[in-house]
Amino acid sequence: MVVRMVVIGIALVLSGIAIGRLLSAWLKYRGRRVVTCPETQRPAGVMIDAGHAAATALGKAPELRLSTCSRWPERAGCGQNCLSQIEATPEDCLVRNILVKWYEGKTCVSCGRPIGKIIAGSVEPAVFRADKISVEWSEIPAEQLQETLSVAHPICFACHMAGKMVREHQALVTDRSQSAVRQS
């Protein structure tokens, strides 16, 4: 009976370690990334097949392969040499991390409040582009991220949503910033 309990305990510990390693690899390699295409020396938006990376991570370094690339389908079948950039610094090319770093110490272009720390799973600030339109992170193609950020300004979630409401549902918005009309 004791031997059986020990065997079950060891099996549970080993299973926990394996699941932890798989989950860690999946979390590390999921998300949109920006790399420099070795062929064109221009930014490209890519995503790693995180499921495959996790599935191959037991006992060795995960095997990386792309699931999407902004240069596909025209350049599908390339050698995926950009993977070496992700292997070298997987956190530095992640779109979310690039944006979080860009917001550090900045204030909202509209209300002037500090953007503050960006917490995963909470509301995210937006980007006020050079064309005076605010957009959410997901609306910026990864291959255009650096170019967009070089001329953009940060805008807080509240100001972004207010602007979006005015743009998309102008008939439902009342602008109370104008001084009230006096009735005689």
Instruction: Please check the confidence at residue 183 and state whether its pLDDT lies above 70.
Output: no
* 114 or 28: which leads in pLDDT: 114
Q: CA–CA separation, 141 vs 70, rounded Å?
A: 8
Q: What pLDDT band is residue 2 in, cutting at 50, 70 and 90?
A: confident
Instruction: Please check the confidence at residue 111 and state whether its pLDDT lies above 80.
Output: yes
Say whether 169 sits in a helix, a strand or coil.
Answer: coil
Angle, CA 179 vertex, CA 173 and CA 184 arms, to 5°: 115
Q: What pLDDT band is residue 177 in, cutting at 50, 70 and 90?
A: low
pTM for the whole structure: 0.77
- The torsion defined by the Cα of 16, 18, 19 and 24, in degrees rounded to 10, comes to 120
- CA 57, 100, 156, 162 torsion: positive or negative? negative
Q: What pLDDT band is residue 32 in, cutting at 50, 70 and 90?
A: very high
Enumerate the H helices of 30-154 as residue ranges: 50-55, 83-88, 95-103, 145-151
Which residues does residue 154 pair with via DSSP β-bridges, in sequence order? 127
Say whether 30 sits in a helix, a strand or coil.
Answer: coil
Instruction: Please check the confidence at residue 107 and state whether its pLDDT lies above 90.
Output: yes
* pLDDT at residue 82, as a whole number: 93
Q: Average pLDDT, stretch 92-121? A: 92
- The torsion defined by the Cα of 48, 52, 53 and 56, in degrees rounded to 10, comes to -160
CA 87 to mean position of chain CA atoms: 17
